[in-house]
Amino acid sequence: MNPSGILARSKESLQNEFLRAAVRFTQDRLRNKKQAVTSEFGHWEEWRERGRQIREHTVSHLDYYLQQFADKVRQTGGQVYFAVDGDEASRIALEIAKKHRAKRIVKSKSMVSEEVHLNRHLQEAGMEVVETDLGEYIVQLAEELPSHIIIPAIHKNRQQIKDLFTAAGGEHLTTDTKDLTAFARRTMREKFSQADVGITGCNFGIANTGSVVLFTNEGNADMVTNLPPVHIVMMGMERLLPTLADLEVFANLLPRSATGQSVITYMSMITGPRQVQERDGAKELHVIIVDNGRSRQLGDAHFQEILHCIRCGACLNVCPVYRQIGGHSYGSVYPGPIGAVLTPLLHPGPEYADLPYASSLCGACWEACPVKIPLHHMLVSLRARSVAAGYNPPVEKLIFKAYGAIFARPGRYRFAFSVARFGQQPLVHDGTISARLGPLTGWTAHRDAPSLAEVPFRQRWQTLQQELGHPPADPADDKATNSASKDARGAQQNSDVRMQKQQGDVGHE
Ligand code: SF4
């Protein structure tokens, strides 16, 4: 496991009260809005199922649809490139920009470009790169990663934004939202009008038309794709839909799941570069299709479904772990449950092997997901993969071996717990253990651990049986548990009442 991994980063986030309040506020707001718009829409489960089926079909036939999409883009005058990894994707974009002697590049929101560190590559070549999505612009000025897929600057307050804008623009601003957005608008207009290249992501590529579909709420993608003479699209290889009819399903699923909107504010569809008879659009269209670890998931029974993701962020908005630690703790451009699965899949190895442990496995992400990706199952499979690869500390293996050995034999179990019951005595106060417990300190530092009951459950059970007039089970006999269980089933109704009376005045084992 990575010693400077999510645990270390989470400790920092847990101290940040503003971040935690902002995440809670945003989660609640988006979740409530989603609940309202999906109820009003009706038949939400059927829409989800339809979405799942379309994504399953597309990803299962990805080779076919990729070829069809690439052919259509070329037929409509665009150019297509396939990039095996992030470096190749950035290199292709850089070469296109260099060919046009680009000095200034404007971008609309693109998670893939973040994933491949495109900005860094372009900036190192001396180009100015400006993010034009407001949240992304704030994060860029702060030199940070986005902390939410849909709301990248969720962790910033108005004072911090004001300071960033003031430093960037050299003019005095107030913390008034109107003042801040007016500054961003003024700045962006100038950048748009002077840009040599525009770069966007791609929410969906339509295979049978070669169209690139972009969803935004700020309209900045329209400026990015129309004002500069060159438009570069960077898209993950899985972002395809077979037809425009399929887009209808996702035009309903995506905004409702992402921001609780019944319809997205701007949906732009770009099919080829500007034609002679057209008045807008870039003169050149370049589409870079990025693999970067995605094709490794194809055919994998556990993980292929991760390619169904439409990056709506709904799983973040329900995750109890993300709620506490925010996005930066994940150390990846993809935070939350989707990040805990996708990041180690795209970057196998020890660096992100701890991310799948940042989950309670409650399954809320799966319930929220508009295309029903079983993220909680994938998290478990990734944990197994991490153990098999030897990324977990050796002591963890020993602990689980000891745990297995003790729980495999009732005699060992009884002996171990009688020793533990005796050993815990100096640590117990008011029925709980609040002392720091070596490797378990992470647990006891923030909450009390219940102490072991003074009288174990098995013994209480036997006493109860005797009180009920049933023959006592022989504690030395391993078969006693089964026999007691059989007797218990017979006396279930009576014992339930008596057990409830006894609970509450003893600890738990
Ligand atoms: S995993 Fe599902 S809920 Fe999460 S971002 Fe992807 S599509 Fe949305």
Predicted local distance difference test score (pLDDT) of residue 502: 38
**Torsion region of 227: left, alpha or beta (phi above 0 gives left; psi -120 to 50 gives alpha):** alpha
CA of 300 to the centre of ligand 1 (A): 19
Report the residue among 315, 319, 366, 376 best suited for mutation to probe ligand 1: largest number of ligand atoms under 8 A from its CB: 315
Predicted local distance difference test score (pLDDT) of residue 485: 46
One domain for residues 379 and 401: no
Give, as one character, the DSSP assignment of residue 475: T
Predicted local distance difference test score (pLDDT) of residue 308: 98
- Domain end among 391, 421, 436: 391
One domain for residues 346 and 413: no
User: Which atom of ligand 1 is the closest one to the Cα of 372?
Assistant: 2
Report the residue among 34, 44, 310 best suited for mutation to probe ligand 1: largest number of ligand atoms under 8 A from its CB: 310
One domain for residues 89 and 230: yes
Is 494:465 a contact under the CB 8 Å cutoff?
no
CA of 376 to the centre of ligand 1 (A): 12
One domain for residues 187 and 204: yes
User: Which atom of ligand 1 is the closest one to the Cα of 310?
Assistant: 7
One domain for residues 419 and 461: yes
Q: Whose CA is nearest to atom 4 of ligand 1?
A: 315
Report which of 340, 336, 313, 333 is spatially closest to residue 323, judged by C-alpha positions: 336
One domain for residues 85 and 5: no
Q: Whose CA is nearest to atom 2 of ligand 1?
A: 369
Q: How far apart are CA 416 and CA 405, in angstroms?
A: 11
One domain for residues 437 and 362: no
Angle (nearest 5°) at CA 137 between 358 and 220:
110
Residue 13, amino acid: S
- 116-133 confidence digits (pLDDT tens): 999 999 999 999 999 999
One domain for residues 26 and 137: no
- Domain end among 259, 292, 325: 292
CA of 148 to the centre of ligand 1 (A): 12
- Domain end among 334, 361, 391: 391
CA of 505 to the centre of ligand 1 (A): 44
One domain for residues 101 and 81: yes
Predicted local distance difference test score (pLDDT) of residue 486: 47
**Torsion region of 349: left, alpha or beta (phi above 0 gives left; psi -120 to 50 gives alpha):** left
Q: How far apart are CA 210 and CA 269, in angstroms?
A: 10
Predicted local distance difference test score (pLDDT) of residue 403: 92
- Cβ of 19 below 6 Å from ligand 1: no
Given the DSSP bridges, would you call strands 428-429 and 432-433 parallel, antiparallel or unpaired?
antiparallel
Asked if the structure places residue 306 within a domain, the reply is no
User: Which atom of ligand 1 is the closest one to the Cα of 149?
Assistant: 5
Q: At what angle do helices 62-75 and 44-60 cross, to 10 degrees?
A: 80
Asked if the structure places residue 228 within a domain, the reply is yes
Predicted local distance difference test score (pLDDT) of residue 494: 45
Pure H helices in 61-205? 62-75, 86-99, 111-115, 118-124, 134-142, 158-169, 177-194
Average pLDDT, the chain: 89
One domain for residues 369 and 430: no
Asked if the structure places residue 319 within a domain, the reply is yes
* Total number of domains constituting the chain: 3
Q: Go through the chain and tell me how many residues it has.
A: 509
The CATH number of the domain where 219 resides is what?
3.40.50.10420
Asked if the structure places residue 315 within a domain, the reply is yes
Asked if the structure places residue 27 within a domain, the reply is yes
- Cβ of 338 below 6 Å from ligand 1: yes
One domain for residues 119 and 171: yes
Q: How far apart are CA 195 and CA 105, in angstroms?
A: 5
Look up the domain containing 332 and give its range. 1-34+311-391
CA of 364 to the centre of ligand 1 (A): 11
- Cβ of 341 below 6 Å from ligand 1: no
- Cβ of 315 below 6 Å from ligand 1: yes
Asked if the structure places residue 297 within a domain, the reply is no
Report which of 331, 373, 319 is spatially closest to residue 30, judged by C-alpha positions: 319
One domain for residues 372 and 486: no
Q: Which helix (H) or strand (E) holds 449?
A: strand 449-450
Asked if the structure places residue 508 within a domain, the reply is no
Asked if the structure places residue 302 within a domain, the reply is no
Other CB atoms closer than 10 Å to residue 279's CB: what's the count? 7
- Which residue ranges of the chain lie beneath pLDDT 70? 1-3, 434-437, 439, 472-509
List phi, psi (to 5°) of 146: -60, 145
